[in-house]
Amino acid sequence: MTALIHLAARSLWNRRFTAGLALLSITISVALLIGVEKVRTEARSSFTQTVAGTDLIVGARSGSVQLLLYSVFRIGDATSNVSWESYQRISSHPMVAWAIPLSLGDSHRGYRVVGTTDSYFERLRYGGDRSLELAEGAWFDDLFEATLGAEVARSLGYRIGDEITLAHGTGSQSFLDHDNMPFTISGILAPTGTPVDQSIHVSLEAIEAIHLGWQSGVPIPGQEVSPEDARAQDLQPRAITAFLLGLQSRAAVFQVQRAINAYPDEALSAILPGVALQQLWSLVGIAENALLVVAAFVVLAGLAGMVTMLLASLSERRREMAILRSVGARPVHVFGLLTAESTLLGITGAIAGFALVYIAMALGAPLAQASFGIHLAPSAPSPRELTLLGMVIAGSAFAGAIPAWRAYRLSLADGLSIRT
């Protein structure tokens, strides 16, 4: 067996140009297949770890997926707000251990602004039971201080003490800026691999302050308020976008959920993050499967290219096969040689494709984090990935059996004869 593998490797090296093209095709197709699987699993992992430790998410009456997306992942906008009175009443429920209010709707150069309280930094968990930590500086303490996520600070080049201006709305371009009330950066959070990295955090009172003198989302002419005047006013929030709840006992989650959904004073929705995530995966599952199917067809195309290369080389190798037969090689040895060649190409291509995925992940991780909020971290191959690699290698061996069977049937006389 070792001699056969050695002979197959030498044979491929002698035809290294054509074999290299086949190997490149397999490598790229395997990289695409494993890359799609890696991105799929890492995306799910990033989404799941974002809501770790949160029992319920509460917002205005809407669909579960919509509420999850705008409150946690900062995607989309709320249909309505939740009154401050309702938030206080629900957060004081005996079964509620903690509550994190969220006020959304403003941005800075395309990054979402999150109005919240100290409970956000104290209670929010991600990646199991990890809490938020500061890379430098301190949490916002003054009315016009902001704490930046790691990605915001990195991409925009901000440092502690820099001033920023918030904008009304969530688009990357805004024509309504709160430039009369600049904020000073007080702290920068350590990277989390979650949407927190792409958020700018201020106090709920700050959200109220920057909207003084505004009505229906536009500033009232002649009603501009200075930062000094804002500090002197009552800035208790009138409404928030949503809030996260942690309960005293997980056993009470359905009881509290039913009570909120039947809340008499306001149309509210309370959702379980895990259930909403499953609904989200069911929506995007079709697209995931479509990508995997496309990647699988690319692998088949790569294997077909390898078969074509081996078949095309048979005419050139007829005399080689005949010489092997003349020195004692049996037909089964010829069959095994060509099958070993295709298997070696499959194994090498699978390993090279997997390595290419890891290189691409290392180089593309910052872009994926900045653009999509997906944290791509190199990890050990999962059982599913190993299964896919095994299928590619098995497919290579099976594909090589086609030209091998043709070579097997070539006779010694046919190989030594000269065709005219």
Residue 189 has pLDDT above 50, yes or no: yes
Extended beta strands in 197-295, E state: 199-203, 214-215, 218-219, 239-240, 242-247, 268-271
User: How many CA atoms within 13 Å lie on the side-chain side of 208?
Assistant: 18
Cβ-based neighbours of 34, under 8 Å, separated by 6 or more: 353, 354, 357, 385, 388, 389
Out of 196-205, 335-344, 347-356, the most confident range is 196-205
Q: Check residue 213 and give its pLDDT.
A: 80
Q: How confident is residue 376, by pLDDT bands cut at 50, 70 and 90?
A: low
Q: Which helix (H) or strand (E) holds 58?
A: strand 56-60
pTM of the predicted protein model: 0.71
Out of 22-31, 255-264, 279-288, which region has the weakest mean confidence (pLDDT)?
Answer: 279-288
DSSP string, 128-148: TTEEP-EEEE----STTEEEE
- Are 58 and 381 in contact by the 8 Å Cβ rule? The answer is no
Q: Check residue 200 and give its pLDDT.
A: 96
Name residue 200's beta-bridge partners: 113, 148
User: Tens digits of per-residue pLDDT, 74-104?
Assistant: 888 888 999 999 999 999 999 999 999 999 9
Nearest-angstrom CA–CA distance, 410 and 323: 12
Q: How confident is residue 411, by pLDDT bands cut at 50, 70 and 90?
A: very low
Token pair for 268 = 């509210």
